[in-house]
Chain A
Amino acid sequence: MMRMKCRRYLRLYRVIISQFFKIILQSRVDFFMGLFGFFFSQILGIAFLYLVFEQIPSLQGWTLDQLIFIYGFAQIPRGIDHLFTDNIWMVAWRFVVNGEFDRYMLRPMNILFQIISEKLQPDALGELLVGILLVTRSMIKGIVITDALHTVLFFVSILAGALIYTSIKTFFAALAFWLKVSGPFLQVAYETANFAKYPTEIYAKGIRFMITWVIPFAFVAYLPASFFLKAGGSPVVIGMECGIAAVFCCIAYFVFERGTHVYESAGN
C-alpha cells in the first residue's frame, strides 16, 4: 500500500516536472539570465570575504581557506532546497491571499507535494555550482577531513540541512493561512540564513543564540562545516542537525496541515 503510494507520487512528480521543463525550455533566455544572476551574486559574496581578509588575516582563529569552505558548504543545502521547493514562496505571497490555493484543495493529492512538484528553480544551480566548486577547492587544498565517516556524514548533513531549510520555509509560508500574506516574515527568516555562512563566534550573543536555537541555520552551515574542518570534532553535531531537521519537519508540516483547515479562500 505504502509502496504503491510512493511509486504513484514519484510517477506524478516525473510527469508534472517534465511539463515544467517544457515551459522552461521555451524561455531559454530567462533560464540563463537567472543562472548568470545567481552566479554573479555568489562571486560578489566571495569577493567580500577576500576584502575582509585583506584587513584581518584571521577571524576568531579561522583562516581564509577555512572560511571559504564554510561559505561553500553552506551553499549546497541552500541550493538543494532552493532548486526543489521554491514554489512554497508563492503560498506566502500569493496563493492564499488571492484564492489560487483552491486549486490544490480540489485535487486528490497531498497539497504540499502538489505545490513543490509544480516548479524547479534553475536559479539555484548557481548556488549549487559555487558550493560544489568551493568544497572541491577545499578538498584539493587538503583542509577538509575526508575519511569514510566524514564523507558519509557530509551527505547526511547536506540532506538534513536542506530539510531544515524547507521546514523553515514551509512553517513561515503556512502563517499565510492566518495572516493572508506571510511573505515579509518568510523573507526575514530566510535572510537570517546568511548569518550562518560565517563563523557564529563573530556575532553578538543574541544573534548567535537565535541562529543556533530559534531559527537554527547555524546547524545547516557553520556547525557541521566546522566538523568537517577540525580533527577530533564530535559527530554528535551532525546527529543534532538530523534531530533538528526531523523536529522542524514535523512542526512545519503540522502547522501547514492545520493551516489548510483554516484557509478562507477568497471571494470572486
Chain B
Amino acid sequence: MIEVSHVTKDFVMPKKYPGLRGAIKGLFSNEKTVKRAVDDISFQIGQGEIVGYIGSNGAGKSTTIKIMTGILSPSDGTCFVAGIDPNRRRKENAQNIGVVFGQRTQLWWDLPLSESFTILKEIYNVSDQAYREQMEFLNQVLELSAFFDKPVRTLSLGQRMRADLGAALLHNPKVLYLDEPTIGLDLVVKDNIRRAIREINEKYKTTVVLTTHDIGDIEELCSRIIIIDEGKKIYDGSLEALKDTYGTKRTLSLEVKQIQKASGFSPAEILGVREEECITELDFENSLLKITFDGHKLQAPQILSTVMNEIEITDIQLKETELAEIVKEIYRHGTEGE
C-alpha cells in the first residue's frame, strides 16, 4: 500500500549568526546550512497493517508523514501510496488518504461540526448513501452525536480529536495517517480513540500509520513498529521481536523481613554469572531487595531459591522491562553509533 524507497529530505536554511551584528551579517551573507531531516529511509507497508512510527522529537517522524501525505516533496528518493506519487498527483492521493494531526485541527474552527461534515462531504464527493452509512458507523464508534451541532471551537480536546478522526474517515480512505492522535488526552478518551482505530482497521482493512510518544498506543494498536532517529531508520519489525532483542532485562523485587541481612549478599557470585548480568540493589527504607537480571541467562525461580536460602522474604514482584525503556535504550544506541 505504501512504498517508501531511499527518501531523503533536506531543509535549506540561511546561516544564522549570534547577536545583532550577526543578524546584520546574516542579511548580507549567502551562506546556507542544510539540515537533513530524513536520511535515506525505505520501508513498505501492506494493506491493513497498523504501523507505529516512533522516534524522539525532531527525529523526522512528521517530515516523513508529510512526504507520504503530499505536503512536502522529498529531496531524493521515491514514495508511492496506493500506486500514486503523492507529490506529483496530490489531488488523487488526497482522495485516498485521511490525516489527523493531533496538535492542529483540520476542521473549520467557527462552524458547527455538522456543517464541517457537510463541506467535507462535498469536497470528497461522497454520495448521499455512502455518507449516511459512514456517519452511522462513525457515530457508533466515535459517539459524535453528543456534540454534532456545537461549533468546533467549543469542543473539549477529546471531543475535538474524535471529531477530527471522524472527519478524516468520512470518505473511507485507504490509508489513515495519525500524527500523535492521543496527545494530551485522558485515559478514558485515549482508550476510546484506540478502540475506534482498531474497529475501523478491522472493518475496512484501512492501513494505519501512526506516530506517537505514547507507548500505550503502540502496545495496544501496532503489530509492527518503525523507529527512526536523527532521520535514519534504526528499527523495523514486530513489537515482540523488539522486546526479545532489547527487553531481556527483568527485575525481581523482593520485600524482605530484615534488610540488614541482605547487605553483602551477591546472587551473581553464587550463580556463577558476571556482575552486570545480575545486579543487586538495596532499598533500606522500604526493605526492598531489587535484582535485575538478563532473561536469556537466568530464570526467576533460580534466583528466587538462591535468595530464599539466605533471607526471609515477605513479598515478591517480577517486572518486565517496559517498552518505554527499551525505546530509550535504542535511542541511546542510535546516537552512540554516530
Q: Is the CB of A99 within 8 A of B104?
A: yes
Known: A23-B110, A265-B72. A108 touches B91 (CB 8 A): yes
Q: Is the CB of B62 within 8 A of A268?
A: yes
Known: A102-B71, A106-B69, A106-B70. A261 touches B87 (CB 8 A): yes
Interface presence of B119 (CB below 8 A): yes
Q: How many interface residues does A have (CB within 8 Å)? A: 25
CA distance A12 to B180 in the complex (A): 31
Contact partner, B108, options A19, A109, A261, Cβ 8 Å = A19
Interface presence of B95 (CB below 8 A): yes
Contact partner, A16, options B58, B62, B69, B119, Cβ 8 Å = B119
Least distance between B313 CB and chain A CB atoms (Å): 48
Residues 112-129 (chain B) with a chain A CB within 8 angstroms: 115, 118-119, 122-125
Instruction: Provide the residues of chain B in CB contact with A59, threshold 8 Å.
Output: none
Instruction: Provide the residues of chain A in CB contact with B110, threshold 8 Å.
Output: 23
Residues 72-128 (chain B) with a chain A CB within 8 angstroms: 72-73, 87, 90-92, 94-95, 97, 99, 101, 103-104, 106, 108, 110-111, 115, 118-119, 122-125
CA distance A260 to B123 in the complex (A): 20
Interface presence of A205 (CB below 8 A): no
Contact bitstring A90-114, B, C-beta under 8 A = 1, else 0: 0000000001101101111110000
Known: A19-B108, A102-B104. A108 touches B95 (CB 8 A): yes
Residues 15-34 (chain A) with a chain B CB within 8 angstroms: 15-16, 19, 22-23
Known: A267-B62, A268-B103. A107 touches B94 (CB 8 A): yes
Instruction: Provide the residues of chain A in CB contact with B106, threshold 8 Å.
Output: 103, 106
Interface presence of A195 (CB below 8 A): no
Known: A12-B123, A268-B103. A109 touches B91 (CB 8 A): yes
Q: Is the CB of A12 within 8 A of B122?
A: yes
Instruction: Provide the residues of chain A in CB contact with B104, threshold 8 Å.
Output: 99-100, 102
Q: Is the CB of A106 within 8 A of B71?
A: yes
Interface presence of A230 (CB below 8 A): no
Least distance between B116 CB and chain A CB atoms (Å): 9
Known: A22-B111, A23-B111. A261 touches B73 (CB 8 A): yes
Q: Is the CB of B70 within 8 A of A105?
A: yes
Among the interface residues B62, B99, B115, B119, which one has the most CB atoms of the partner chain A within 10 A? B119
Instruction: Provide the residues of chain B in CB contact with A109, threshold 8 Å.
Output: 91, 123
Which residue of chain B is the closest to A105 with respect to CB atoms? B71
CA distance A22 to B149 in the complex (A): 14
Least distance between A11 CB and chain B CB atoms (Å): 7
CA distance A238 to B82 in the complex (A): 49
Instruction: Provide the residues of chain A in CB contact with B87, threshold 8 Å.
Output: 261
A-B contact pairs, 24 of them (CB 8 A): A11-B122, A12-B123, A16-B122, A19-B119, A22-B115, A102-B71, A102-B104, A103-B106, A106-B70, A106-B71, A106-B94, A106-B97, A106-B99, A106-B106, A107-B123, A108-B91, A108-B92, A109-B91, A110-B91, A261-B87, A262-B73, A265-B71, A265-B72, A268-B179
